A and B are shown apart, each in its own frame.
Chain A
Amino acid sequence: MKTADIVVVGGGIIGISLAYGLARQGASVTVLDNAKGMYSASRGNFGLVWVQGKGLGMPRYAEWTLEAAEKWHNFSQELTEKTGNVIDYEQPGGFEVCLGEKEWSLRKSELEQLRDEFPGGNYDNQMLDRKQMQEYIPEMPLGENVTGASYSPHDGHLNPLKLLTALITALEETGAALDTDQQVESVAYRKKCFEIKNAKDSYYAKKVVLACGLGIKELAQQVGLNIPIRPQRGQILVTERTKPLLKYPFVTIRQTHEGSFMLGASHEEVGFDTETTLDQMRNIASHAVQTFPELSRLQLVRCWGALRILTPDAKPLYVESETCPGAFVVTSHSGITLTPLHVNLLPKWILEGDAPGGFEQFHLKRFDA
């Protein structure tokens, strides 16, 4: 029989972040993951720490994202000091390009809505026309279809694989257990205690956190929660390495620290299929080349499809079961961006019920209507 204060199911970025945060608060934590290869969201994502455009229709989320972005600088420094792992985090500000007039006016009205909704009203994203945009990146001539871009000084990027490695290293230093060969099959609530079972073992814990991405749906039902999440495929292309060309990350184009360009990602409703498709690869390449003709000569060396974990409004879901108190579900798209909050704020909620203000907005109840 194995016991822990808390069992976290899921060793992606969210599960590891929570476990690390919980362990730092002194809890004894065990993480169980089934390591199903490299196309989970945490390994197959784009690596943006992204604020602009987030939170339309839910100002608390816009705020939450901004709060995370503001914490990133210190958070990444601490993580590097602790583990010796560099994660290539940079926050130079970021762009989302507009191709054609229509995209520009659409983006502009979205931005205005976000600004109107934003609490306090100091929303500092802005629209740049083509000329203003080019001034930021004089060394990268814009394609003729580019009409401009939205810009936010809060946006940044990092290497998500290095982030995951650093967090795992930090977690292991706390003494918490991480077992990557454990497919959790059931979670049962018995006398204020949870029995978490896989093919080999049973774990007993006072609390259980389901942070296993698309695997949440099935397990959550066993603790009385009906979680509306679905997979959405994103395909990403990676080019050969080249000399530094682009200082700023774009939502769809960024140059990594290694020198390669990441391009993407598509948004496809194709269930659990992680294949790549030629038409999407073509679209992504064509978008990149239309934005920066300079990229045409770069070789594509890799591509993949990874699955987003989306709630109906694509915003985070933080919820504790009412029928089985002590069972938590944590899932979010943009799980990279939110990492500092997941490490620093969510553990208090899980351990002591001490939640940040306005936290109830991230509850399941928002989908009841």
Chain B
Amino acid sequence: MLKRYGKSRGKTVSIWFEGQPIQAHEGESVAAALLTSGVKYLRHAQVSAKPRAPYCWMGVCYECLLEIDGEQNQQSCLIAVKDGMRIFRQSSAAENT
């Protein structure tokens, strides 16, 4: 549960999360854009499949991994949004065993 502080002069950017369009601003990370628009978690834990969300915001914890434009395991806290990005949660190994 996050919100933007102040106004952004950045261009509006449209990204897609799980097939739904989301508005973001140039210069924001993918993880920040998703959590400010009401997304509550980004991944499932590997064993228990419980929901997880970013903890470190700096590339250390790997709790922000998403599939971005077809590439698995992207650290979405380190990646800036781009217009038209297609983003999905990853299927957890736990869900399949």
A binds B: yes
- 18 example contacts (A-B, Cβ-Cβ < 8 A) are as follows A241-B46, A241-B93, A243-B91, A243-B93, A243-B95, A243-B96, A243-B97, A244-B96, A244-B97, A257-B97, A258-B93, A259-B46, A259-B93, A259-B94, A259-B97, A297-B71, A299-B72, A299-B73
> Nearest B residue to A258 by beta-carbon distance?
B93
Q: Verify if A139 is at the interface (C-beta below 8 Å from B).
A: no
> Nearest B residue to A241 by beta-carbon distance?
B93
Contacts of B73 in A (CB 8 A): 240, 299
- Those of A187-245 within 8 Å (CB) of chain B: 240-244
Complex alpha-carbon distance, A179 and B12, angstroms = 65
> B: which residues have CB within 8 A of A?
46, 71-73, 91, 93-97
| B72 adjacent to A297 (CB under 8 Å) | yes
> Nearest A residue to B72 by beta-carbon distance?
A297
Contacts of A297 in B (CB 8 A): 71-72
Complex alpha-carbon distance, A298 and B63, angstroms = 17
7 tightest Cβ-Cβ pairs between the two chains A and B: A241-B93, A259-B93, A243-B96, A241-B46, A299-B73, A242-B93, A297-B72
Contacts of A240 in B (CB 8 A): 73
Cβ of A340 to closest chain B Cβ, rounded Å: 27
How many A residues, CB 8 Å from partner? 11
Name the prevailing secondary structure of the B interface residues: mixed
Complex alpha-carbon distance, A112 and B88, angstroms = 51
Complex alpha-carbon distance, A257 and B72, angstroms = 21
Cβ of B49 to closest chain A Cβ, rounded Å: 12
Complex alpha-carbon distance, A259 and B71, angstroms = 19
| Per-residue B-contact encoding for A269-302, CB less than 8 Å = 1, 0 else | 0000000000000000000000000000101000
Contacts of A259 in B (CB 8 A): 46, 93-94, 96-97
Name the prevailing secondary structure of the A interface residues: loop
Contacts of A241 in B (CB 8 A): 46, 93-94
Q: A243-B96, A243-B97, A258-B93 are in contact. List 20 more A-B contacts (CB 8 A).
A: A240-B73, A241-B93, A241-B94, A242-B93, A243-B91, A243-B93, A243-B95, A244-B96, A244-B97, A257-B97, A259-B46, A259-B93, A259-B94, A259-B96, A259-B97, A260-B93, A297-B71, A297-B72, A299-B72, A299-B73
Complex alpha-carbon distance, A242 and B46, angstroms = 9
Contacts of B95 in A (CB 8 A): 243
Complex alpha-carbon distance, A258 and B96, angstroms = 10
Contacts of A299 in B (CB 8 A): 72-73
Contacts of B93 in A (CB 8 A): 241-243, 258-260
Cβ of A158 to closest chain B Cβ, rounded Å: 16
Complex alpha-carbon distance, A243 and B44, angstroms = 13
Complex alpha-carbon distance, A253 and B3, angstroms = 46
Cβ of B3 to closest chain A Cβ, rounded Å: 33
Contacts of A242 in B (CB 8 A): 93
Complex alpha-carbon distance, A243 and B94, angstroms = 8
Contacts of A260 in B (CB 8 A): 93
Contacts of B71 in A (CB 8 A): 297
Cβ of A243 to closest chain B Cβ, rounded Å: 4
Cβ of A257 to closest chain B Cβ, rounded Å: 7
Complex alpha-carbon distance, A299 and B94, angstroms = 17
> Nearest B residue to A243 by beta-carbon distance?
B96
Contacts of A243 in B (CB 8 A): 91, 93, 95-97
Cβ of A162 to closest chain B Cβ, rounded Å: 15
Complex alpha-carbon distance, A13 and B21, angstroms = 55
Complex alpha-carbon distance, A260 and B71, angstroms = 18
Contacts of A257 in B (CB 8 A): 97
- Those of A291-330 within 8 Å (CB) of chain B: 297, 299
